[in-house]
Each structure stands twice: as structure tokens, then as C-alpha cells.
Amino acid sequence: MRSSIIASLALVPWATCHQQPLKDAKHRVPTSHHTVTTAAPSYRQELLSLHRQLISIPSISGDENAVGNFLVDYLTARGYHADLQPVAARDGTPPNKQRFNVLAWKGERIPSAKVVVSSHIDVVPPHIPYSISPGEITPETMIKGRGSVDAKGSVASMIVALEQLHASKEIANRGDVMLLFVVGEEVAGDGMATFSDSLSRMEEPPKFDAVIFGEPTENKLACGHKGGLFCDITARGVPGHSGYPWLGKSANELMVRALAKILDADLGSSELFGNTTFNIGRFDGGVAANVIPEKAVVKFAGRVAIGPEDKGHEIVTSKIQRILDEVDDEAFDMDCTHGYGSVECNCEVDGFEKITVNYGTDIPNLAGDHTRYLYGPGNILVAHGARENLTVADLEEAVEGYQKLIVHALKQ
């Protein structure tokens, strides 16, 4: 069976796109001159240095190749096979910019991993430079910068955790664990979808027993997360002079009435995830204060609290469509880019506190019947913000947590 898996892997793009490390001096960050406390774990300097370098390389979604190349360089220098899996360019990708996932493993040239350890290397805009609290480094030392939490904290902790397990020989077969770092998670999950599609094209795809996904969960093990629904609603009216509103039809007014009903509606709830929520992210309508608006467009993000994972969002879509039809059955169009129902994960592992989260992840973008774990350092409430930060203790606890999860997953 293993030989047939290896033969199949040789046919997919990510198994044949091995690239030598790319040297780029401008992305090398000087080693910190902080004093390290004697009580620090042996890997602290390695962990903080890697985290610093990852944050210092800008990698806003669509422009991730520099940090990907850095990871190839970093991992191959430590004895990993590191391959690049091309990901198709999307709208907004800068010209002449490659996009690729990074896959890495130790052991045989072609892996048949039992456990995949994965996170994303893209971040939301804008780039915020790395900074660290001055003085002696202690567990309470704070680190700031874009991606410090979401999700370069997970990436750095995962790599160091796996290195510790290899060094202690706690992984019997070095090829049993594969690292997977993907692009595009913050936008549409195109990196993970590309990886998933590559597996579906294989005659005998590898059988992953478990996948550990890295996202900020406060170092608690997530029992799952809400699903998502991402749509545009367009209202079309009849323009006219604002002094005679009865002679026209205001698209803005129609939209406001519909949105008020949607916000007050029960869009679905569950004991684990609570209520489905509806965020009006952007509202554009009209051309001038004294003109009856002909068109209004709203972009919204729903956080879906109901399942099943493949259809929960469709139930919410139907509820919203019924409200639009009640307000005006001719004026509205709804166009949804993607969605999914609530996502459940395995949180029954000794030694971890449990949590559920409301944000989305790449978990539903990877097909398969593998066991799914969701875990990582940092708090989502500071992610995407101007003061994104975590502490040294957060990172170090995550290293220990990832080690426990990897060992646990290998024994199942």
C-alpha cells in the first residue's frame, strides 16, 4: 500500500515542484540582544528568533511568496524535504508574484504522513512591524506585529514543537508527520483548497489519520467553530427627485427595512455555538442626498451556528431570502461567494481546556474523514487589530501543547 501511495504522490504538483531554498538577505532579521533568563526552555531563543523573522516578512494575502521562500530555506537547513505547491493567482495578486503552499517532512523523500500539522502564512492588511518589550525576556514579555497571533505564532510554535519531538526521538517514523503551511486563508481558503484538490486527483491518496490546525485559541483545544456565509445583497429601485419620494422607489429604504428584519430574525442557533450572527460589513447606496437612490449594495458576513457542515449555511441563506421576498419580492438579488455550516473538532484530549470560537478556519477546505484538532497561541480578539500581540509564555505553552497533540494523534 505504501509503495502505491508514493507512486500516486509523484503525479501531483506539490510532489514534483521541489525548489532549492531561495536566499534573500533583506528578509534576515538580526538576532535579538535581549538577555534570556536561565529558567527559559532550551528552545526559547530558536522559537523567538523564528517568530520574529516570520512577522518581519510582510505576507498580506495574495503576496505571500517571500515568507514561503523563507520557510523553505529555514526547513531545508534543518533536514526537511520542503516542496512548493503552486496555487493559482487570484484577483488582486500582485504581478509577477508566485503563490504557493509549503509542504515539509523528514524521512523518506515522498511522505505517507499519519498526521498533518498545518496553519496559514498569509495575514490581513496592513503590515505592522515586529516589536518586543524592552529589557530581559521573561514569560510576560509582550511581542507585537501583524501575524504575531494570526497565525505566525502557530507556525513558529508548530515547527519548534516538531523539532523537539524529532530531537527526542518521540516520533518513531520520521515521515509520520508533515508540515503544511498554506496561503489565502484570510480571503477564501484557496491554498488549502488547492492542497485538498491535489489529493482528490490521486488514485490512492494518503490516509491522514489526523490534521492539527493552528489558529489563535488561547492555547485551549477548540471543540469547533461557527460556519460562515459571505454574500452581497443588491436592492434595485426607481430614481427620482427627493421632493417626490412617492414617484420613485428608494433602494436604500428597501435595504434598510430588509436589514432591520434580518438583524431581528432567528437565523438558527445551537447549544454548542449559540446564535447565528449577521454582520453588515459594507453598505453602498445612492448618488446624492436629493436623489432617490436607484441601487444599494450590502456586503455581509454571517457566522453560522447550525449544521450540518456542508449545508448549514444554505439554511441561513433560505431564511434571509424569505425576509428579502417579504420586503419586496422583485427588488432584491443575493449573490453568495462561499459558505459552510458549523464545524466540529475533537477536543477530548487530556490536559487541555476547551473552547469554541466564532471565526472561520481552513478546516472545511480540506476534504477527508481525518480527526481534526484546532489549537494555537494568542487571543482572536486582538488578531486583525492595530495592537495584535501575545506573550513569550503564550508561544512556549503552544510548543508544549502542539507536542502533546502530535503525540496523541500518532497514538490514535
Sequential DSSP letters for 325-345: HHH-TTTEEEEEEEEE--EE-
Split at pLDDT 50, 70, 90, the class of 88 is: confident
Split at pLDDT 50, 70, 90, the class of 112 is: confident
CA dist., res. 162 & res. 165, Å (int): 5
Within 10 A of 220 (CB to CB), how many other CB atoms are there?
17
CA dist., res. 71 & res. 296, Å (int): 44
Share the mean pLDDT of the chain. Answer: 90
* Beta bridge pairs of residue 282: 299
The answer to whether the beta carbons of residues 117 and 214 sit under 8 Å apart is: yes
**Whole-model pTM over 0.75:** yes
The 10s digit of each residue's pLDDT in 288-304 is: 999 999 999 999 999 99
**22 pLDDT higher than 70:** no
> Residue 277, exposed/middle/buried by CB under 10 A (0-12, 13-18, 19+)?
middle
Ranges 19-28, 73-82, 277-286, 306-315: which has the least confidence: 19-28
Q: What is the pLDDT of residue 29?
A: 42
Sheet holding 277-285, edge to edge: 277-285, 295-304, 227-236, 332-340
Instruction: Dump strand ranges (E) for 271-370.
Output: 274-275, 277-285, 291-292, 295-304, 332-340, 343-344, 354-357
CA dist., res. 1 & res. 186, Å (int): 36
The pLDDT of 176-197, averaged and rounded, is 95
Ranges 29-43, 164-178, 223-237: which has the least confidence: 29-43
- Between the CA of residue 106 and those of 44, 168, 230, 307, what are the distances in Å? 22, 14, 39, 38
Judge whether 185 counts as a catalytic residue: yes
Ranges 12-16, 139-143, 176-180: which has the least confidence: 12-16
Q: What is the pLDDT of residue 92?
A: 56
**1 pLDDT higher than 70:** no
CA dist., res. 145 & res. 386, Å (int): 8
CA dist., res. 389 & res. 288, Å (int): 42
**115 pLDDT higher than 50:** yes
Q: What is the pLDDT of residue 109?
A: 67
CA dist., res. 84 & res. 68, Å (int): 8
The pLDDT of 25-44, averaged and rounded, is 58
CA dist., res. 337 & res. 289, Å (int): 31
CA dist., res. 332 & res. 40, Å (int): 60
Q: What is the pLDDT of residue 47?
A: 98
Q: What is the pLDDT of residue 93?
A: 57
**277 pLDDT higher than 60:** yes
CA dist., res. 8 & res. 70, Å (int): 28
- CB contact set of 261 (below 8 Å; sequence gap of 6+): 323, 326, 327
| Helix pair angle (392-411, 152-167), 10° resolution | 60
CA dist., res. 233 & res. 254, Å (int): 11
Q: What is the pLDDT of residue 266?
A: 97
Q: 107 or 305: which carries more pLDDT confidence?
A: 305
* Domains and their CATH numbers in the chain: 43-224+344-410 (3.40.630.10), 227-340 (3.30.70.360)
The pLDDT of 264-287, averaged and rounded, is 98
The pLDDT of 88-112, averaged and rounded, is 76
**281 pLDDT higher than 50:** yes
Q: What is the pLDDT of residue 4?
A: 37
Catalytic pick among 185, 186, 215, 344: 185
The pLDDT of 90-104, averaged and rounded, is 76
The pLDDT of 60-89, averaged and rounded, is 94
Place of cell 488582486: 92
Q: What is the pLDDT of residue 122?
A: 98
CA dist., res. 80 & res. 77, Å (int): 7
The pLDDT of 113-133, averaged and rounded, is 97
